[in-house]
Amino acid sequence: MTIQTARLSDPAVRAFVSAVNAHDREAFLSLLAPGATMADDGSDRDLDEWIDREIFSSHGHIDVDKESNGGRSLLAHYSNDTWGEMRTRWDFTVAEDGRISRFETGQA
């Protein structure tokens, strides 16, 4: 069963999922701390290139199935126009200012 985005526990993660699903690049970028980093399937990636390719140019969408670690770890179905739908995990590091300093994703 999918968890409604509005019910996600961590405010930064909730805003991240909302921005992805609304295809709102400006809102998404405002959630990231300066120098934010990310990894996909265990390998660090260029953040700007990855989010353009995997989220914004390919209409990415996250449906969260389960959250843990105070809402900073998600199991979700992720879909985009490039890869279709897959089961993924997402782990977030949130800085003291409430912005996301790192996220890691990959197949679950």
pLDDT above 90 (res 65): yes
Mean of all residue pLDDT scores within the chain: 97
Q: What does CATH list as the number for 5-107?
A: 3.10.450.50
Inter-CA distances, 92 with 32, 72, 76, Å: 11, 5, 13
Phi, psi (5° rounding) for residue 88? -135, 160
Q: What tokens appear for 88 in the block?
A: 């993924």
Q: What pLDDT, in 10s, does the model give residues 16-57?
A: 999 999 999 999 999 999 999 999 999 999 999 999 999 999
Instruction: Using the structure block, give the residue that is written with the tokens 């995990």.
Output: 89
